[in-house]
A = this chain, B = another copy of it.
């Protein structure tokens, strides 16, 4: 049984920063589950919320407990919940689909017209406890390490992107090596990609790219990456381009690297409109371009679980600091410095 109040990291004011507060433990409805958070991971989005950027100002309505990557143990379940039990070790899909719109009805819950994201539109997981609808709970297989369980949300982005089309025996360019780009390298490698080219301007991230399995880690600030990829593919270009940067120059280079008939899967979010040479980059090339959002519910979760259980993904290089919730300030500052690593909070203590 939870105590009546808990510690939570909250955005209480429309300005930079966050506040550690004592708030009521969430009350759950008949179809909800209350989870005691074991570890929570900081997403780039959380860094934006902390920094109070333009996007945050338009979307976030304080007060809000933020955070949407975590794992934990089920503390309590609502009376109608049958498939989740107290004591289950779980993570959760934080995109809550409405269940009634066209997309939900045809099995595309990840692009629900009325989606609500926990940690953005409602209270999230930077707290001792978090309330989750039972249908969004994902039970963690015992073979999966605890700290991996805390990052299934971004790993799901990576898996969704990589497996949105054929990958085995394909040459791949990963454009942008933030955490999800880095995970995508590991996933592509595990799934039979032949040669993986990673591009990134930050040298530290570029070094990580090699550690995650990239065959060539290329810095567009120092070389003509398009030319290099063309050379290495006998002038053809890569079969698959995974756009993880959201950077207009990166997007442009990515499309130039892509072979005629190739697939471009776009996850990175540019902050403004992007100008395309539609004819050369997509139309005459017969390219397929996919927008990627979230993770498939729950096909992607099954794929992740299979890959993790089988030990096919080495994500260790990604993990860096682990700390109590109290040290949040140093965590956000570290990440604002351009680290592509994952920092974990342990809101209930017992950091390891």
Supposing A267-B283, A287-B291 touch, asked if A103 and B260 sit within 8 A by C-beta, the answer is: yes
Say if the beta carbon of A45 comes within 8 Å of chain B: no
* Contacts A105-B301, A236-B102, A303-B168 given; does A279 touch B284 at CB 8 Å: no
Task: Tell me, rounded to whole Å, the shortest Cβ–Cβ distance linking A283 to chain B.
Answer: 4
| Partner-contacting stretch, out of A6-14, A191-199, A217-225 | A191-199
Instruction: Indicate if the CB atoms of A192 and B293 lie closer than 8 Å.
Output: no
Q: Is A19 an interface residue (CB 8 A)?
A: no
The answer to whether B291 touches A259 (Cβ under 8 A) is: no
- Give complex CA distance A277, B273 in Å: 5
Interface flag for A125 (CB, 8 Å): no
Q: Is A317 an interface residue (CB 8 A)?
A: no
List which A250-278 residues lie within 8 A (CB) of chain B: 251, 259-261, 266-267, 269-270, 273-278
Identify which of B113, B277, B278 contacts A260 (C-beta below 8 A): B113
Given A99-B83, A192-B190, A261-B111: A273 and B269 within 8 A (CB)?
A: no
Q: How far is the CA of A5 from the CA of B289 in the complex (A)?
A: 49
Instruction: Flag whether A145 is at the interface (Cβ < 8 A).
Output: no
Q: How far is the CB of A106 from chain B (nearest CB, A)?
A: 4
Q: Which residues of B contact A135 (CB under 8 A)?
A: 99
- Judge whether A111 and B260 touch: CB under 8 Å: yes
Q: Which of B171, B282, B291 contacts A291 (CB 8 A)?
A: B282
Q: In the complex, A100→B84 CA distance in Å? A: 10
Identical copies in the complex: 4
Partner of A273, one of B259, B260, B278: B278
Check A291/B301 contact, CB under 8 A, given A83-B99, A170-B306: no
**Interface residue? A304 (CB, 8 A):** yes
Alpha-carbon distance A234/B142, docked complex (angstroms): 14
* Assembly CA distance A108 to B284 (angstroms): 13
CA of A312 to CA of B293 in the docked complex: distance in angstroms? 30
Interface string of A20-36 (1 = CB under 8 A from B): 00000000001000000
A306 to B: closest C-beta gap in Å: 4
Q: Which residue of B lies closest to A259 (CB)?
A: B102
Closest Cβ of chain B: how far from A191's Cβ, in Å? 4
Q: Contact at A283–B291, with CB atoms within 8 Å?
A: yes
Whether a CB of chain B sits under 8 angstroms from the CB of A228 is no
Contact B278 A274 (CB under 8 A): yes
Additional A-B contact list (9), CB under 8 Å, known A111-B261, A287-B291: A30-B30, A30-B80, A101-B236, A105-B298, A105-B299, A108-B261, A278-B291, A285-B293, A288-B289
Chain A residues with a Cβ under 8 A of chain B: 30, 80, 82-83, 99-103, 105-108, 110-111, 113, 135, 159, 163, 166-171, 190-192, 194-195, 215, 234-236, 251, 259-261, 266-267, 269-270, 273-279, 282-293, 296-299, 301-304, 306-307, 309-310, 312
Cross-chain pairs A/B with CB under 8 angstroms, 16 sampled = A83-B99, A101-B236, A102-B236, A103-B259, A108-B260, A168-B191, A168-B307, A169-B302, A170-B306, A171-B306, A194-B312, A251-B278, A266-B282, A278-B291, A283-B292, A289-B289
